[in-house]
Amino acid sequence: MSEGAALEKKRYERLEDLGIGSATSKKLRELGFHTVESLAMATVKELEQAGISKTKALEFIRKARSCMPLPFIRGDELLKMRQTVLRLTTGSSMLDKLLGGGIESQSITEFYGEYGSGKSQICHQLCVNVQLPPEQGGLGAAALYIDTENTFRTERIFQMAKNLGLDPEEALKNIIFAEAYTSEHQMFLLENADKVIKENGVRLIIVDSLTSQFRSEYLGREMLAERQQKLNKHMHMLIRLSRAFNAVAVVTNQVMSKPDVFFGNAIHPVGGHIVAHTSHTRVFLRKSARGPVRIARLVSSPYLPEGEGIFRVSERGIEDTTEEER
């Protein structure tokens, strides 16, 4: 089979181009489907919520999918697709190396660690780095930052942008910011992000932190199942967006201390199996005895070995450690 032989690829720009009436298109937009890309990744059940019949929903999804790459492909074509995965520098060459050359697009990378371990600093740095040209490790693109802990600081972006020779005012223009007040609101923001992502050329989506709202709202065992179900939905939305727009998706997560049979009190990331299985790449961050130095441990990756690296957090941002610190 030759590449793309099965379906002639038609370009559908707007929902209406798929033959969806304007009233239904409006409903779909209300449900968060603003683009053909997002429709291609939708389930029939989701479209039924807009009052669309099963048959019609299938038809729309199929049409939307026809302008996306084919689902069945040969291994060598899969290799080609893997080659479309982009990589974004963290600012630290050791951390980049640990991650196989930077943080990759089309999947979720999770940074977890204690308070002050550098999770939000990395997020800030990535928002600036993504704006750099590819030859400097960037993606020449904009960032979307969903902040749930009110820790995003424009001052920090200013410092980091200046350090990289970017105009700080311009750098801030390329960061789309939203604060999530509740877990529902956090989910709502992501469900409605596709338009903003497309219009602004976003290739970095950050949720800092993924779990804090969920953790504070869903208390006790009886709410655990519901919390996990919501988290699962939220993370799958993020995966879809990262694939549809070839974007890097980064989430942060807190840790909790749990009694462990073998090691006494062990540190675990929040979110249990759902978050563990949905984050493709997980990095555990911790402070070191040497002030600005942080230790990153690659805990899980679909194809990279486990390992550790160090970097530092300074006024300039995320960077390599000095000779003496190594």
Ligand X SMILES: Nc1ncnc2c1ncn2[C@@H]1O[C@H](COP(=O)(O)OP(=O)(O)O)[C@@H](O)[C@H]1O
Which residues bind to ligand X, rule: CB under 6 A? 113, 115-121, 151, 313-315
For residue 34, the partner it binds in ligand X, Mg ion, none, with Cβ less than 5 to 8 A by kind, is none
Amino acid letter, residue 83: Q
**Residue 99, token pair as written in the block:** 């991650």
| Local structure of residue 33 (DSSP, 8 states) | -
CB of 172 to ligand X, least distance (A): 16
- Closest to Mg ion by CB, 44 vs 270, is 270
- The binding site for Mg ion (CB under 5 A) comprises 119-120, 151
Closest CB 114 distance from Mg ion, rounded Å:
10
What is the C-alpha separation between 293 and 253, in angstroms, rounded?
Answer: 20
- The H-assigned helical ranges of 176-268 are 183-191, 194-200, 212-217, 224-244
323 binds, among ligand X, Mg ion, none (CB under 5 to 8 A by kind): none
**Residue showing the smallest CB distance to Mg ion in the complex:** 120
Query: Which of 119, 215 has the CB closer to ligand X?
Result: 119
CA–CA gap between residue 220 and residue 248 (Å, rounded): 33
Closest CA to 204 of 249, 170, 244: 249
Q: Which does 115 bind (CB under 5 to 8 A by kind): Mg ion, ligand X, none?
A: ligand X
In the complex with ligand X, which residue's Cβ is closer, 85 or 256?
256
Min dist CB 252 to Mg ion, Å, is 6
Q: Is 81 left (phi over 0), alpha (psi -120 to 50) or beta?
A: alpha
Q: Which of 246, 167, 255 is closest to 205 using CA atoms?
A: 246
Q: How far is the CB of 317 from ligand X (least distance, A)?
A: 8
Tokens of 174: 């390329």
CB of residue 51 to Mg ion, shortest distance in Å: 41
Nearer to Mg ion, 123 or 132 (CB): 123
131 binds, among ligand X, Mg ion, none (CB under 5 to 8 A by kind): none
Cis omega (within 30 of 0) on the bond before 209?
A: yes
Pick between residue 42 and residue 98 the one whose CB is nearest to ligand X. Answer: 98
